Amino acid sequence: MARHGQWALGGLSSSLDKNEENTMPKIITVGTATSEPGTIQYGQWETLGHPTGHVEFLPVIIAQGKEDGPCFWLTAGIHGVEQAGPTVLYRLITQELVDRLRGTIVAIPALNPAGLRTMKREPYHAPEDPNRMWPDGKPAKPPDPDKQPPSSLEKAYTRLFDEIVASAAHVIDYHNAWTGSISFAFRDRVLYHADQEADRHKAEAESLAATQFEMLQAYGHTIITEFPAEKYIDEKLHRSVTAATLFVGKIPSFTVELGTGDMPDPAIVAAAVAGTRNVMRWAGMLDGNLERIEGIKVVDAGFPVRRCGTPRAETACVVLHLVEPGDKVRAGDPVAEVRDIWGRPVGDGLLHSEYDGFVIGRSHGIYYYPGDEVLGMAIRDDAPLIAPYPADYYKD
């Protein structure tokens, strides 16, 4: 069970109540891996069969301290081009960590082995975004003969979700946003079912949101809130790993984005390892002061922010960006030069920010069609952090 010790950056050290009896940690089995106090155990979790007779498995690492404490699930590698997350897990999980650990880490560094082999976001055997096929909390529907049934992978994730919910006190899922983007963590708006028990569901959502925010603060990287509720559902983001564990599993969870994916940045990886240990300190799994998050930009706009792809190109053009990831901008500031293919200015030659906020990253490339997003930005967030599912959510 999670007991949150005192924690503060450079101040109080995290400590469990020393009078509390030390009990042996609970045995946790995932696939062929079974925890053994004081050790790191390795195993396989069978996912699906291929028509060629090969069986896909997910690698499982269970690191368990000698004392009881929370069970923290850490997952990565669901998008094959995003390879910083697996790197974080390989750097994080060491015997030295286990020697100081209270509780258990269950880590899966390759949620999408096919995507990692081919360096593709989607696995070739289930060509959909694997981070949009996790349980959505809707009642099961009878099979529709005119619809493709859930893929073997989606079924496997549903089974894995049940295993996560059975043991996890907290979950972090590691991703990369895009090339050159800053390291940040997503704050989710917690959605709840506005049925006859809406008050209870809302209180539960508020509590989950508060705990998620504490975890995000302990992690210590830039915090950016996800899209407003309707766009979030439209984008199927409620079916990501951590949205499923948060909304359906009721487990405080979040997603982190670690900059460039296909060439992990050692500074971001080190800061994510430190941030994860800080979340473990917050959870009472490690002693000691919070580590300083160094070597990366941590941006605070001074007001709550959410992500937004903006500004958009107004015409087909070449874009020469004028701002860097992490830069603060104000509405009206020029953020890019706009040129034609000969390099001549288009119009007044400038594209301006429509919002106050900061730059998460430049979009890939310099060639843009009308409507293309030129920057990923964090802009002022006015939408509520707790929201009911849209009225038609449970109807389709």
Using the rule CB under 5 A, is 226 a contact of Zn ion?
Answer: no
Residue of the chain from 56, 67, 68, 82 that contacts Zn ion (CB under 5 A): 82
Q: Which stretch binds Zn ion (CB under 5 A): 3-11, 18-26, 168-176, 190-198?
A: 168-176
Which of 216/387 has CB closer to Zn ion?
Answer: 216
Which H/E stretch holds residue 242? Answer: helix 241-243
**Shortest CB 174 distance to Zn ion, Å:** 9
Q: Which stretch binds Zn ion (CB under 5 A): 79-87, 312-320, 341-349, 387-395?
A: 79-87
Using the rule CB under 5 A, is 297 a contact of Zn ion?
Answer: no
Binders in 112-151 for Zn ion, by CB under 5 A: none
d(CA 215, CA 283): 8
d(CA 374, CA 359): 10
**Shortest CB 144 distance to Zn ion, Å:** 29
**Shortest CB 175 distance to Zn ion, Å:** 3
Q: Which stretch binds Zn ion (CB under 5 A): 75-83, 95-103, 268-276, 382-390?
A: 75-83
Which of 84/378 has CB closer to Zn ion?
Answer: 84
Using the rule CB under 5 A, is 175 a contact of Zn ion?
Answer: yes
Sign of the dihedral defined by the CA atoms of residues 385, 391, 395, 396, in that order: negative
Binders in 241-260 for Zn ion, by CB under 5 A: none
Residues listed for the chain: 396
**Total residues binding Zn ion (CB under 5 A):** 3
Per DSSP, the three-state class of 284 is coil
**Shortest CB 173 distance to Zn ion, Å:** 8
**Shortest CB 120 distance to Zn ion, Å:** 12
Q: Which stretch binds Zn ion (CB under 5 A): 105-113, 170-178, 285-293, 369-377?
A: 170-178
Which H/E stretch holds residue 258? Answer: strand 253-258
Q: Tell me the Ramachandran region of residue 357: left when phi exceeds 0, alpha when psi lies from -120 to 50, beta otherwise.
A: left
User: Strands 357-362 and 375-380: what pairing?
Assistant: antiparallel
Write out the DSSP string of 327-380. Answer: -EE-TT-EEEEEE-TTSPEEEEEEEE-SSSEEEEEEPSSSEE-TT-B-EEEEEE
Token pair, residue 13, equals 């050290």
Residue of the chain from 7, 41, 63, 79 that contacts Zn ion (CB under 5 A): 79
Q: Which stretch binds Zn ion (CB under 5 A): 45-53, 76-84, 208-216, 381-389?
A: 76-84
Q: Which stretch binds Zn ion (CB under 5 A): 71-79, 95-103, 340-348, 359-367?
A: 71-79
Which of 129/381 has CB closer to Zn ion?
Answer: 129
d(CA 359, CA 336): 12
Sheet holding 334-339, edge to edge: 345-352, 334-339, 317-321, 367-368
Q: Which residues are CB-neighbours of 80 under 8 A, at least 6 positions away?
A: 112, 114, 115, 116, 117, 118, 119, 120, 121, 122, 123
Which of 127/384 has CB closer to Zn ion?
Answer: 127
**Shortest CB 377 distance to Zn ion, Å:** 19
Q: Which of 162, 14, 192, 33 is nearest to 109 (CA)?
A: 33
**Shortest CB 130 distance to Zn ion, Å:** 9
Binders in 305-334 for Zn ion, by CB under 5 A: none
Which residue's CB atom is positioned nearest to Zn ion? Answer: 175
Token pair, residue 161, equals 């979700």
Chain residues that interact with Zn ion, rule: CB under 5 A = 79, 82, 175
